[in-house]
């Protein structure tokens, strides 16, 4: 059984990545990822021009069926992560970047264009936890404007991290915008924004910022994640790869993401629950399923979801 996958020309031993934001903020965490078996590639915490503290604690809360977070984009800043990805990597690495405004995104990507970094970058258009800021990718016109300006100067590999969409018309509209640009990939989904969890015993919310509203992840978002992977795979140019993120807790979930068309699959909440050993378990479970079904490689079943 062969789990090898491709990341923009780099061969990976497995299709599994960490979800940006989970165990990827500090040098120690990034080095842990670099040494994690069955993790095929890694993504950094989304970097902003200046380092950020993020939102006040509590800002992450584990739930029986997933998680809720309002981290607020805490990160060590663009310069730190640029230095990190410029070092030679033990494991293929995607640099994730974010901005609090379209202007900042342009500034950051102009710096990146001028830098020595030639590797893959992912522009996060979907952070749901910045107080007062909308998730840019819910504004199709604004997204088109930003990408149009970015691709007027940016010539290196670039993908985008998308929020979940919930209306087939929205899948059509975002795909129409994205298909205009030479993107390496879309990563779908980011957390389901602005959920709310109530601690009934204490009669209060569980995270501090935004009155307790935060991004949802884990098992509860799997159906939404699979729908977004499938819908975007069906609509995007074949040249644009799809990284599936959201709701993965078992090898069967990884199989389902790939069956829906995912080229690679990221895992976030389950790493928070289980630790980095989760990748060995997911890889083993995926191999078991493939063997039982008579599949040798991921290409044997990728995108082959059957309809009734």
Residues serving a catalytic function are 127
- Report in angstroms how near the CB of residue 118 gets to ligand HRO at its nearest: 24
Q: Of these, 25, 44, 93, 190, which contacts ligand HRO (CB under 6 A)?
A: 190
- How many of the other CB atoms lie within 10 Å of CB of 308? 2
Residue 93 touching ligand HRO (CB under 6 A): no
Stretch that binds ligand HRO, among 67-75, 151-159, 271-279, 285-293 (CB under 6 A): 67-75
- Out of 92, 164, 215, 251, which residue is the one contacting ligand HRO (CB under 6 A)? 215
Residue 273: CB minimum distance to ligand HRO, A: 15
Options 3, 14, 18, 21; binder of ligand HRO; rule CB under 6 A? 21
Q: Which of residues 222-261 bind ligand HRO (CB under 6 A)?
A: none
List binders of ligand HRO among 125-144 (CB under 6 A).
126-127, 129
Shortest Å distance, C-beta 151 to ligand HRO:
22
Residue of 15, 40, 72, 159 interacting with ligand HRO (CB under 6 A): 72
Q: Which is nearer to ligand HRO, 14 or 18 (CB)?
A: 18
Which one of the spans 69-77, 151-159, 174-182, 272-280 is the region binding ligand HRO (CB under 6 A)?
69-77
Cβ at position 143, least distance to ligand HRO in Å = 15
CA 167, distance to chain mean position in Å, is 20
Nearest to 89 by CA among 165, 14, 12, 166: 12
> Considering beta carbons, is residue 10 or 26 the nearer one to ligand HRO?
26
Q: Which of residues 96-115 bind ligand HRO (CB under 6 A)?
A: 98
Distance CA 46, CA 52 (A): 11
Q: Closer to ligand HRO at the Cβ: 73 or 85?
A: 73
71 contacts ligand HRO (rule: CB under 6 A): yes
Q: In whole angstroms, how close is the CB of 96 to ligand HRO at the nearest point? A: 8
Report the alpha-carbon distance of residue 259 to residue 230 in Å, rounded.
9
Closer Cβ to ligand HRO, 70 or 93, answer by number? 70
Give the interface with ligand HRO as residue ranges (CB under 6 A): 21, 46, 69-73, 98, 124, 126-127, 129, 190-191, 215
């Amino acid at each position: 059984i062969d789990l090898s996958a491709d990341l923009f020309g780099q061969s990976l031993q497995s299709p599994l990545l960490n979800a940006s934001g989970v165990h990827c903020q500090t040098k120690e965490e990034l080095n842990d990822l670099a040494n994690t078996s069955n993790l095929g590639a890694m993504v950094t915490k989304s970097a902003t021009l200046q380092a950020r503290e993020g939102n006040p604690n509590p800002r992450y809360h584990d739930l029986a069926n997933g998680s809720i977070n309002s981290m607020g984009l805490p990160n060590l800043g663009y310069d730190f992560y640029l230095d990190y990805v410029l070092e030679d990597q033990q494991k293929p690495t995607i640099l994730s970047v974010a901005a609090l405004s379209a202007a900042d995104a342009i500034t950051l990507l102009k710096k990146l264009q001028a830098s020595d970094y030639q590797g893959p970058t992912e522009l996060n258009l979907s952070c749901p936890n910045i107080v007062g800021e909308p998730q840019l990718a819910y504004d199709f016109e604004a997204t088109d404007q930003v990408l149009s300006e970015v691709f007027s100067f940016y010539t290196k590999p670039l993908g985008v991290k998308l929020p979940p969409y919930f209306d087939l018309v929205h899948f059509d509209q975002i795909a129409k915008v994205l298909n205009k640009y030479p993107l390496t990939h879309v990563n779908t989904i980011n957390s389901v924004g602005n959920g709310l969890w109530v601690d009934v015993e204490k009669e209060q919310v569980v995270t501090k910022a935004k009155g307790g509203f935060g991004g949802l992840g884990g098992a509860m978002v799997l159906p939404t994640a699979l729908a977004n992977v499938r819908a975007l795979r069906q609509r995007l140019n074949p040249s644009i790869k799809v990284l599936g993120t959201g709701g993965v807790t078992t090898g069967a979930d990884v199989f389902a993401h790939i069956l829906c068309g995912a080229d690679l699959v990221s895992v976030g909440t389950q790493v928070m629950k289980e630790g980095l050993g989760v990748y060995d378990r997911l890889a083993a479970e995926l191999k078991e399923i493939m063997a039982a079904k008579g599949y040798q490689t991921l290409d044997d079943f990728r995108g082959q979801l059957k309809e009734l």
